[in-house]
Amino acid sequence: MEFNLNGKTALITGASRGIGKDIGIALSRCGAHVVLSARDREKLAEVKNLITGEGGEVTVIPADLSMEDDVVHLFSEIEKKFKKLDILVNNAGIGYYDELVGFPLEKLDAIYRVNVRGTYQCCQCAMKLMIPRKSGYIINISSMQGIKGYPKQSAYAASKHAIVGITKSLGAEAQKHDIRVSVICPGAVDTELIRDARPDLDSSQLIHPEDIARVVLFLLSLSERSMVDMVAIRRRNASPF
């Protein structure tokens, strides 16, 4: 894409693997200083080495988004180092899968702490950095399950529907601050998460994490006159929503 993110600071959560990893690499290649966050320190270090090996600028700040203090520390460090945040990609997420009847409520709570509460708090903290500058872009990664449902995935789908709802409301609130907010709803992506959720799927037919990274780049490449509320992307032969 013929645009650059030189001078921009971008935070990607869940950046140690899969979609988050590819988004971090893609934004770095466009010139952004990327801040990578996740729980897995070893995997984060591997991604950092990939980016620095290409000459990119990267900062690693490990965090568990289910822990309020971790999120506060994450954004405090960003404010100290950069004094701003231009881009937030809320990608971190977990999933547990089984039929609703008998589904352990503690697993539902665990999903909501990361997928919903973590996303919500990151949006709060990012807005506090973006509002004074009247500039910024928040991109939340939901799922096709944020707009439809599948058997044995009610808890995960509920969290992804919540992310769509957060994005819609925040998008309306953020307009007056000239901050853009979008949500991406991917279908089956070839990641560890989808292999756990849908072992029946043929991985050769799935979209790849880099496809989602390209959607992020597309959104960021649009002029500030433009606003995209939602992007739904699926494998070519999958049924539409």
Residues annotated as catalytic (active site), given as ranges: 156
Q: Is the sign of the CA dihedral 203, 209, 211, 212 positive or negative?
A: positive
Residues 187, 235: contact at Cβ < 8 Å?
A: yes
Q: Is the sign of the CA dihedral 88, 89, 95, 99 positive or negative?
A: positive
Rounded Cα distance between 120 and 218, Å, is 24
Q: Which of 179, 147, 171 is nearest to 160 (CA)?
A: 147
Q: Which of 68, 66, 119 is nearest to 90 (CA)?
A: 119
Rounded Cα distance between 137 and 180, Å, is 5
